[in-house]
Structure 1
Amino acid sequence: MTDIASGAAQATLDAFLDAALDLAAERGWLSLTAGEVAARSGAEASVLGGFGPFRPRLLACLIERVDDGMRDGLDDDARDPGLPVRDRLFEALMARLDVLSARRDGMRAVLRGVPLDPPSALAALPLLGRSMARTLEAVGESPLPPFGPLKVKGLSLVWLSTLRAWLSDDSPDMAVTMKALDSALARAEEAANSLLPGARRRPVADGPAA
């Protein structure tokens, strides 16, 4: 596929995902149908690719968009191996939140609706693990055995805890969410120090990581 064709395909997918988020914000995740989103966006649901029920495929594409936005939003500091892992992960997860916040109403509708939609909830579990593995990779940490899977699980808990705070945080600077994220990372760091051989200990900061 040429760059022009590839760009056109991405633009079509983006239009479909934006339309889905708009409709989710208006009527909720459970109300979404392929036909209505296609009518709103002017693109067919086949743009999502894959097989199976519509909403789980849509969820996979939305999460991949967040993954891509996270990687694009990271600066060199977040990839600097000289910085503590906790600080790098703070930057990466904040980059994920920035992507969510760009379409806040729609993404909140998705996050609130997915647990009530069994096919989507079932699909969300492996998608969460994949996203956290990508987050680790983005900051230079391996998600591979022997310790990678444990890191993925720990980071998944951090992310879910942070999302709960984000869902109810209406502060303009996401101060409540940032505090929740830093606290969750501190707990995860303490757990890692006790479980992973050779883990580097450092004092737990009182405020958000730099």
Structure 2
Amino acid sequence: MANAKTQQKILLGFLELLKAHSYEEVSFASLAEHVGVKLSDIRAEFSSKKALVEAFGEMIDRGVLDDRDEDMEGQPARDRLFDVLMTRIDHLAPYKEAIGTLHSAVRKDPGLALEFNSITVRSQRWMLVAAGIEVSGLKGRLVTQGLAVAFARVIDTWLKEDDKGMPRTMARLDKELDQGESWLKFLGKAEKMSRSFRKMGQGVRRSRKSEPTDGDGDIPASALHEAS
């Protein structure tokens, strides 16, 4: 069984290989040779390349959560989320070439994009938590999926930008969050409408239960009247 140090060695070796090779070209055999560990040790910790990508995402998540700026707590939710996502980009920066390779692989392979989607959505759920924004249920799923798609667009801009100040990246993030605010308002209205319809339905069911029946205890009197 590999220890934590070996796990990190394997993961970082995987990211190093992605700098010079496509995702498809990086094999477990080449990874084992590159980092100098046995294939059995890699298998014990990472059952697939997707598991390696998942471990990378979790590593970045932990870094962002540890670096969360608590002074932002009194700021609007949008500003807190902007700060968290820029912190995420800061943590991704040392692996920019590897991320570029993964980004390219996903754009060419819809199946791979679908595989990685759950990893991205999980990370964005934690980014919302880091920003003090917690949503649940259907709205939560829609918000995290929407944020995952929006952040992928930001990453696309970031990968093409050389300016260390990242003006284009920050402008793109601003734009995506602006669009996200509009979507959140729409979701909020839809959620309120849904609750109203559910309450109406519950009220109808309660009123029907309280109506007198035909004597057998099965059919409301109003239903008999409507049928006659």
Pairwise CA RMSD: 2.4
Contact 1:169/1:177 (<8 A) preserved: yes
Larger Rg computed on CA atoms: 2
Aligned to 2:146: 154
**CA distance in 2 between partners of 1:155 and 1:118 (Å):** 19
Distance 2:89 2:44 in 1: 25
Percent identity between matched residues is: 28
1:93 is displaced (CA, Å) by 0.9
What CA distance in whole angstroms lies between the structure 2 residues aligned with 1:144 and 1:75? Answer: 24
Q: Secondary structure at the match of 2:137?
A: coil
- For the residue of structure 2 that corresponds to 1:87, the secondary structure is helix
CA deviation profile, 1:131-169 (whole Å, cap 9, x unmatched): 111111122221322532232122122212211111211
**Partner of residue 21 from structure 2, selected from 12, 27, 35:** 27
Amino acid at match of 1:175: P
Q: Specify which structure has the bigger relative contact order, considering alpha-carbon pairs within 8 angstroms and separated by 6 or more residues.
A: 1
For the 8 Å contact 1:59–1:120, the answer to whether it is kept is: no
Which residue is 1:193 aligned to? 185
Unaligned runs of 5+ in 2: 190-228
The runs of 4+ residues in structure 1 deviating greater than 6 Å are none
Please say which of residues 188-197 and 29-38 is displaced more in the overlay. 188-197
Runs of 5+ unmatched residues, structure 1? 1-7, 198-210
2:45 to 23, 43, 48: 48
Matches within 5 A, 1:127-138: 127-138=119-130
TM-score, normalised on structure 1? 0.79
What is the CA-CA distance between 1:89 and the residue it aligns to? Answer: 0.8
Indicate yes or no: 2:157 matched with 1:165: yes
The corresponding residue for 1:207 is none
Aligned to 1:57: 51
CA contact (8 A) 2:81 2:128 kept: yes
User: Whole-Å Cα distance in 2 between the matches of residues 48 and 77 of structure 1?
Assistant: 37
| Structure with the bigger percentage of helix | 2
Measured against aligned partners, the alpha-carbon deviations of 1:101-133 in whole angstroms (never above 9, x if no partner) come to 112112211221233356633321111211111
- State the match for 1:85 in structure 2: 77
**C-alpha distance after superposition, 1:161-180 (max 9, x if no partner):** 21111121111122211111
Give the count of matched residue pairs.
188
The residue aligned with 1:94 is 86
The letter for the 2-side match of 1:116 is: K
Are 2:139 and 2:187, in contact at CA under 8 Å, matched by a contact in 1? no
Normalised to the residue count of structure 2, the TM-score between the two structures is 0.74
